[in-house]
Amino acid sequence: MAHRRCPSRDLLRGGSACGPAKPAPWHLGFALLLAGAVSCSAASAADYTGPLFDAHLHYNNEACTHDTPAPGCPHPMADVLDRMQRNGVRAIVANSRPNDGTRALATAREQTRKAGVTVVPFVRLYRDRADYNNWFRDPTIVEMVNAELQRGTPAGPYRGLGEFHLYDSANANGPVAKQLMALAEEKDLAILAHVDDVAIDLLMANTPSKGRKSLLIWAHTGIGGSSVARVDELFARYPRLIGELSYRPGLTCGDGQLCPDWRALLLKYPDRFMIGSDTWINQRWQYYDELMKGYRAWLGGLPADVARRIAWDNGAKLFGVPTPTP
Ligand SMILES: [Zn+2]
């Protein structure tokens, strides 16, 4: 029921359209309540309708095993591009395990052009699942990364490294983690890191500028639920730390709109957040429409210029993606 969603929605939007300002006589109460419900529904935010930049997309082996016939390929190129197109996703940070899926997206120039999707390729650090737990100390990962960087893609040079995971933040000091953080800063590559807040400090300390110049996209902005105050502190410390918002606990409240503390943080740093699908398993492809609808709903509750920045401009600026024509 629309009117039941109204008070919290209205509160989150910072408006005051709901309900009478003063106590009403009892016989007017019901009428005012109804009127309030109607005006609240009418005042509800419309969903954001502009372009989306999916800053955390995987096209992994199991989405489409390229060397097997159709039944083994649940999400072939045409399928994933269709999902992006029908959701108004006009650019993606593409990465995959192994890097074949990214290469496939970056090579399908005609198909991606037709779908209106710009591919921003990142080098994933994983050849297989075993690499998740060992990449930070495995020198063959550096070799693989350097070979990929040198090779580039038909969609242009790689623009970042990741996503990588650190399940134990101390591994941010692994020899390969240190090497890759320094390399990324030297080559101005973005980092896409699924780590906790402690690892953010450790990773940044491993760069030549101590994090002043490093472009680090924090996958999920702390999937373990780092507090808003802690995220704020890290954003203040590292000027190019960006928060990607998939799976972020506590981001939205019961009505699918931003919770008040997160709304305040996004308004404080409108240039520092991006949205992402994180299609790490095939199920996320199946729910791609719902994921993007969910983003459009809470983006619609923000001031239009802030919504546009988080949805599109921030990613487009970072990677020089031209504004799409509708
Ligand atoms: Zn991911």
223, 225, 228, 230 alpha-carbon torsion, rounded to 10°? -90
Dist. CA 133 → ligand 1 center (Å): 15
Q: Which stretches within the chain are classed as H helix?
A: 2-12, 26-43, 77-86, 100-107, 109-115, 139-151, 175-186, 197-205, 228-237, 260-268, 282-286, 288-299, 304-308, 314-319
**Would you state the pLDDT for residue 44?**
58
Dist. CA 221 → ligand 1 center (Å): 12
Dist. CA 15 → ligand 1 center (Å): 35
**pLDDT single digits (tens) 215-238:** 999 999 999 999 999 999 999 999
Residue 62 identity (one-letter amino acid): E
- pLDDT of residue 173 exceeding 70, the answer is yes
Dist. CA 54 → ligand 1 center (Å): 12
**Span 178-207, mean pLDDT?**
98
**Would you state the pLDDT for residue 64?**
86
- pLDDT of residue 291 exceeding 70, the answer is yes
**pLDDT single digits (tens) 296-311:** 999 999 999 999 999 9
**Would you state the pLDDT for residue 69?**
58
Dist. CA 36 → ligand 1 center (Å): 42
pTM listed for this prediction: 0.85
Dist. CA 150 → ligand 1 center (Å): 24
Dist. CA 186 → ligand 1 center (Å): 24
Cβ proximity of 225 and 262 under 8 Å: no
Q: How confident is the model at residue 119 (pLDDT cuts 50, 70, 90)?
A: very high
- pLDDT of residue 23 exceeding 50, the answer is no
Dist. CA 264 → ligand 1 center (Å): 26
Dist. CA 162 → ligand 1 center (Å): 9
Dist. CA 281 → ligand 1 center (Å): 9
The whole-angstrom separation of Cα 275 and Cα 267 is 15
Dist. CA 57 → ligand 1 center (Å): 7
- Residue 218 DSSP code: E
Q: Could you tell me which of 187, 211, 185 has the C-alpha nearest to residue 199? A: 211
- pLDDT of residue 2 exceeding 50, the answer is no
The whole-angstrom separation of Cα 10 and Cα 247 is 24
**pLDDT single digits (tens) 222-278:** 999 999 999 999 999 999 999 999 999 999 998 999 999 999 999 999 999 999 999
- pLDDT of residue 126 exceeding 80, the answer is yes
176 CB burial (10 A radius; 0-12, 13-18, 19+): buried
What distances in angstroms separate CA 17 from CA 45, 257, 305, one per listed residue? 12, 17, 22
**Span 285-302, mean pLDDT?**
98
Encoding tokens for residue 104?
Answer: 């496939």
Dist. CA 219 → ligand 1 center (Å): 7
Q: Could you tell me which of 276, 2, 63, 304 has the C-alpha nearest to residue 162? A: 276
Dist. CA 222 → ligand 1 center (Å): 12
State the DSSP H helix or E strand holding residue 24, giving kind and residue range, or none if neither: none
Dist. CA 204 → ligand 1 center (Å): 20
**Would you state the pLDDT for residue 17?**
29
Dist. CA 34 → ligand 1 center (Å): 45
Dist. CA 28 → ligand 1 center (Å): 53
Dist. CA 107 → ligand 1 center (Å): 22
**Would you state the pLDDT for residue 72?**
75
Dist. CA 157 → ligand 1 center (Å): 21
Dist. CA 322 → ligand 1 center (Å): 25
**Would you state the pLDDT for residue 28?**
36
**Would you state the pLDDT for residue 180?**
98
Other CB atoms closer than 10 Å to residue 167's CB: what's the count?
Answer: 11
Encoding tokens for residue 100?
Answer: 């074949």
The whole-angstrom separation of Cα 122 and Cα 308 is 24
Dist. CA 135 → ligand 1 center (Å): 15
Residue 154 identity (one-letter amino acid): P
